Amino acid sequence: MKLSNLNKYNEIVIQMHNNPDADAVGSGFALYKYFKSIGKNVRLIYGGNLKITKSNIVLLLDSMNIPAENVTELDYVPELLLTVDCQYGEGNVQKFDAENIAMIDHHNTGRLSDDMSEIRSHLVSCSTICYDMLRKSGVDINSDIDMATALYYGMFMDSNGFAEIRHPLERDMIDFLKINKSLIKRLCHTNFTLSELETAGIALLRYSYDENKRLTIINSKPCDPNILGVIGDMVLQVDSVDVSIIYNDCQDGYKLSIRSCAVEVAANDFAAFLTKDIGNGGGHIDKAGGYISKKKFREKYGDEGIDTYFFDKVSEFYDSFDVINAKDGIKDHSDFELYEKKNLTYGFVKTTDMFETGTECKVRTYEGDVFVVADDRIYIMIGHEGGAYPIEKEIFERKYTTGDKTYCMEFEYSPSIINLLTNTSEELMPHSKECFSNNSSRIYAKKLTKAAKVFTKWDYETYMLGNIGDYICYPEDDDKDIYIIKGNILDETYNKINM
């Protein structure tokens, strides 16, 4: 759905979920200002019997004069009811009649996007979705500091202080929104009440501990999601704890927070594993979070208790992968097969075509940020799925032949490069040229029948995760340069050589 799809309606009611949080308020307020700016008659409401009392949300409303109304009845039927950070008909959303219903949300309920709904469960906040939709509609968000600050704070709170961000759009928001920093600071210091402090204290007294895995599982009373992160950070200070799971019941599901200082257990992978098929999870290698839908949980696991589920999944997770250190090399070559790279078209950019030599930059892609320094010897490669990575000129010229045409592909997130000196961003695609791979690149590869965590020779601190069906690979001439290629990528880019 595009915001322009909704511009034909004049009487618009934007509805947040009952007892709205910062993400709902930030999203709703940004859309309220957008529709007001184009002359629509618009209201911002939330239902339920509980008025907003949480101190940080009250401060947010008062500081920006956000006209959020607590409504239990509508005395008219609006042309359009737009729900934000929630979905029409869900348990925490009071039902109002409307001629047309639209939805913008990041929660995974099984509903898909269409002409009247924008559902992106892979994003950490609804504010992120609204940021992207407003940007694509041509709105200069930074020209309105209240709008920018509300969106920023919405994502900040729903990502546990940015600990759980997992998409380049979220990193873009952090880097480029021009915000009221003093207000954000005040909001951050009004997050918790004495009652919530008590909740954290009680949770810390009620933990389960696995000595062999150095892992704790803690069930907290219902509370602000950020309290879970506070509890997790405290638990990880304990000398005998490397990994923690903290979770609580939140009406239609379970919110969880993961912390890890174990190199073989990345918190984001652990969160994704615990929520697979029943919710969503992600974040950073040391801090992550997730959500489990009660509806999806019951459909898959029936009457099994959530406590039992976590204990069973923890054991399954730790038994599900092998750890491979590239410095040890490949001990058994017998199941590896030889592959040759196909003659395919890629994109490339010379860093000095965009920046002066010596300029510090970071390449932003779906997979993450990569830091580079502009140099005649450094190019940026662009792959088929929007991945981008630096390559030395000598290696590039050995493996690729250049073309004259611009590299034209569309990706979910177009890779960009950020000048760290000026903090400005440019997309790579308009500057890219075609190049064609030569058939001189050969690797040995083996399909994984069990997940593997590979610590490469380039980074002994962070692993590459290979899932079942992916490939563990190494160049024909170096069995210590071990890495993972996703199964679909290898099939698209390499041919097997029959010996």
pLDDT confidence of residue 108? 66
Question: What residue numbers bound the domain in which 100 lies?
Answer: 3-189
Is the model's pLDDT at 201 over the cut of 90? no
Comparison of pLDDT for 11 and 225, the residue scoring more: 11
On whether residue 327 sits in a domain, the answer given is no
pLDDT confidence of residue 368? 67
Is the model's pLDDT at 114 over the cut of 90? no
- The structure tokens listed for 16 are 């947040």
Last residue of a domain, one of 172, 189, 206: 189
Question: Based on the domain organization, do 443 and 341 belong to the same domain?
Answer: yes
Nearest Cα neighbor of 254 from 316, 204, 304, 317 is: 304
Last residue of a domain, one of 319, 345, 373: 319
Reported pTM: 0.67
Is the model's pLDDT at 377 over the cut of 90? yes
Is the model's pLDDT at 390 over the cut of 90? no
CA 81 to chain CA mean position, Å: 28
Is the model's pLDDT at 343 over the cut of 80? yes
At residue 366 the predicted structure's pLDDT band, cuts being 50, 70 and 90, is low
CATH for 291: 3.10.310.30
pLDDT confidence of residue 242? 94
On whether residue 326 sits in a domain, the answer given is no
Is the model's pLDDT at 385 over the cut of 90? no
At residue 166 the predicted structure's pLDDT band, cuts being 50, 70 and 90, is confident
pLDDT confidence of residue 177? 95
At residue 155 the predicted structure's pLDDT band, cuts being 50, 70 and 90, is very high
Question: Based on the domain organization, do 120 and 10 belong to the same domain?
Answer: yes
**Is residue 405 exposed (0-12), middle (13-18) or buried (19+ Cβ within 10 Å)?**
exposed
Question: Based on the domain organization, do 352 and 396 belong to the same domain?
Answer: yes
Residues 276-322 pLDDT 10s: 989 888 777 788 888 898 999 999 999 999 989 998 999 999 888 88
On whether residue 345 sits in a domain, the answer given is yes
Instruction: Give whole-number Cα distances, 405 to 75, 376, 387, 422, in Å.
Output: 60, 21, 20, 29
Question: Based on the domain organization, do 34 and 155 belong to the same domain?
Answer: yes
Angle at CA of residue 8, ends 4 and 9, nearest 5°: 115
Task: List the alpha helices (DSSP H) in 376-444.
Answer: 393-399
On whether residue 299 sits in a domain, the answer given is yes
Is the model's pLDDT at 148 over the cut of 80? yes
On whether residue 330 sits in a domain, the answer given is no
Angle at CA of residue 452, ends 449 and 453, nearest 5°: 175
Structural domain count, the chain: 3
- The mean pLDDT of 158-181, rounded to a whole number, is 88
On whether residue 411 sits in a domain, the answer given is yes
- Whose tokens are 């997790």? That residue is 232
Question: Based on the domain organization, do 245 and 177 belong to the same domain?
Answer: no
What sign has the CA pseudo-torsion 253, 56, 246, 290?
Answer: positive
Question: Based on the domain organization, do 313 and 460 belong to the same domain?
Answer: no
Question: Based on the domain organization, do 342 and 480 belong to the same domain?
Answer: yes
Question: Based on the domain organization, do 226 and 184 belong to the same domain?
Answer: no
C-alpha 315/C-alpha 68 separation (Å) is 46
Question: Based on the domain organization, do 16 and 136 belong to the same domain?
Answer: yes
On whether residue 329 sits in a domain, the answer given is no
Last residue of a domain, one of 170, 189, 208: 189
Residues 28-50 pLDDT 10s: 999 999 999 999 999 999 998 87
pLDDT confidence of residue 386? 79
Question: Based on the domain organization, do 119 and 52 belong to the same domain?
Answer: yes
- The mean pLDDT of 182-190, rounded to a whole number, is 92
Question: Based on the domain organization, do 155 and 208 belong to the same domain?
Answer: no
Residues 446-485 pLDDT 10s: 999 998 888 887 667 777 888 899 999 988 878 888 888 8
Residue 333's φ and ψ, nearest 5 degrees, are -90, 0
Question: Based on the domain organization, do 202 and 270 belong to the same domain?
Answer: yes
